Amino acid sequence: MLDILGQTIPTCLCLLLANVSVYAESPAQTTNIFRPDSTPAQVISDYTVLVLAICAVIFAVVAGLLLYTTIRYRRRRADDGLEPPQIYGSNQLELAWTVVPILIVLVLSLVTVRTIADVQNAVPPPNSLRATVVGHQWWWEIRYPELGIVTANELHVPVSDATQRKPTFLTLESADVAHSFWVPLLAGKTDLIPNRQNRMWIEPTKPGTYAGNCAEYCGTQHAHMLIRVIVHPPGDFERWVTEQRKPRTEDATVQAGRNLFFANSCISCHTINGTTAQGKFGPDLTHLMSRETIGSGVALNTPEKLRAWVKDPQALKKGSLMPNMQLTDEQLDHVVSYLLTLK
Ligand code: CUA
């Protein structure tokens, strides 16, 4: 669930470790929580800065007083054998160290409740986009029920601005175990729990590619469960939607690869719209080549990497649930040329 205070440090470490893979090869943005580019992330960041500032003041006062007392009242030569004056009770002191913390806790509680309410109770404006994100071991299924689009590992959304707000409201589900959706520049993290629907929203204010990662340990390849959010400039999202909804035209020159794809068990797990491939276990491949990465961010989606992936998914992503189909080099070439036509 929304976990504002506890989210920062442990998951930052996870993200740092996970970033070594495909982010090193591509220009995806950082995951700095102090550089929010979306309304909920901004609200959480403002809150974090306030809490850190209050804690810094408390630390400075306590550490300052401690240092002052240690030096000012240190043991001196003339004190030898003498007990310092013993003082019992002080109403002013006790009142001060009771009332001041109560006031601080009260302020923190009110700001916390306010921040959580701002993030959780947001009402979708009429123009908002809706998408469903389903966590799988170890990739993300992304559905746009109102647009009839299914894709994987890349969430495409329009940019939002103050004059024309276009936030995206997400429904989060899981196909297997608990995962957590976290794109630090866009929003706080929210878990994807089996047999349950969670909700969150993002409202990016700058076009670009935003990097994120699964933030709940979900098995061997948890660290390679990367997500990209592609925020389109005004008008460009509609172009992407049109591309994704275009009916497919079969390319006769790749018939051999197509036959192999349909003869092997690829179709038990993958969907290609307009064909008999309607598997749901793996990512939808209808527009495979429109995606930047394969294996949920484990490699860039180039013909060479795609070939390496089909040849032996375990070599690129150990533990991946896609089996090695034991294809010969010639068969591989055919299957890959067919996959390359899935634009
Ligand atoms: Cu999915 Cu960690």
Q: Mean pLDDT across the stretch 103-110?
A: 95
Spatial CB neighbours of 312, under 8 Å, sequence gap ≥ 6? 324
pLDDT at 29: 56
Residue 17: is its pLDDT beyond 50?
no
Q: Specify the pLDDT at position 5.
A: 41
At 186-243, the pLDDT tens digits run: 999 999 999 999 999 999 999 999 999 999 999 999 999 999 999 999 899 999 999 9
pLDDT(30) > 80 = no
Regarding the beta carbon of 222 and ligand 1, being less than 6 Å apart is answered yes
So what's the pLDDT on residue 27?
Answer: 40
The two tokens of residue 97 are 């160290």
Q: Is the CB of 224 under 6 A from ligand 1?
A: no
CA of 290 to the centre of ligand 1 (A): 24
* Mean pLDDT calculated for residue range 147-156: 94
Kindly give the distance from the C-alpha atom of residue 216 to the centroid of ligand 1, in angstroms, as a whole number. 5
Provide CB contacts within 8 A for 148, sequence distance 6+: 245
What percent of the chain is predicted at pLDDT more than 90?
72
Alpha helices for the chain (secondary structure H): 8-18, 39-72, 91-120, 236-245, 255-263, 266-269, 303-311, 313-316, 329-339
Question: For atom 1 of ligand 1, which residue has the closest CA?
Answer: 179
- DSSP for 125-173 reads PTT-EEEEEEEETTEEEEEETTTTEEEESEEEEE---SSS---EEEEEE
Lowest-pLDDT choice from 72-76, 139-143, 190-194: 72-76
Which pLDDT does position 48 carry in this prediction? 94
Q: What average pLDDT does range 24-29 have in this prediction?
A: 46
For residues 132 and 143, is the Cβ–Cβ distance under 8 A? Answer: yes
pLDDT at 25 over 50: no
C-beta separation of 172 from 135 below 8 A = yes
